[in-house]
Structure 1
């Protein structure tokens, strides 16, 4: 009877460990695909610097997003709460109290 429990425990442990293992072949294409996707969706804040000094509007936001090559964009007011996550594909237009763009950055 003890051998029955020991052998079933050993089989269970091997099955669990086999599920945790990965091969280098399966992870290599995923890394390559992620690299190519992120390089295409990178934000270039320098291309959207034309927006500094202009009043923030949906049209300006869309134009700046397109020129920067960003996937998403947002207007941030001086008192807006933001998360600390960094997204390389997002353009931020920072504004002052009068809704004039004061800074353009990615993140």
Structure 2
């Protein structure tokens, strides 16, 4: 028996295929991501501080050669993962709300 997919059935099948999460075996050899690879957990004292002038300069000095990315609401950022990059997120007033690696 030959079954023919209607365009609607084919569209539904394709849209559901995009919802699946690929499974990766744990022994695949992939490098796991250390959420504190950049040491961001040590910068918690800067949460709630305005990310201008001295505060951001001290974070950059502490980071040394590591990249520090300062972002605000609505900023367009790349999605590539850089474990040693320090991401400093601010709210609309420039206050640091989150510091994390990636």
**TM-score bracket, shorter-length normalisation:** 0.5 to 0.7
SS for the counterpart of 1:99 is coil
Please report the RMSD computed on the Cα atoms of aligned residues, expressed in angstroms: 1.8
Q: Structure 2: state its 5+ residue gaps.
A: 1-36
Query: Which of 59, 68, 71 is the equivalent residue of 1:64?
Result: 59
Q: After the TM superposition, which segments of 4 or more aligned residues of structure 1 sit over 4 Å from their partners?
A: none
Q: Which has the larger radius of gyration?
A: 1
Q: Tell me which residue corresponds to 2:87.
A: 92
Q: What SS class does the counterpart of residue 47 from structure 1 fall into?
A: helix
When residues 72 and 87 of structure 1 are mapped into structure 2, their CA distance, relative to the original with a 3 A threshold, is: same
Structure 1 residue 76: Cα displacement: 0.5
Q: Which runs of 5+ in 1 are unaligned?
A: 1-41
Q: Which structure exhibits the higher relative contact order, with contacts defined as CA atoms closer than 8 Å and separated by 6 or more residues?
A: 2
TM-score normalized by structure 1? 0.54
Q: Higher helix fraction: Structure 1 or Structure 2?
A: 1
Contact 1:46-1:68 at 8 Å conserved across structures: no
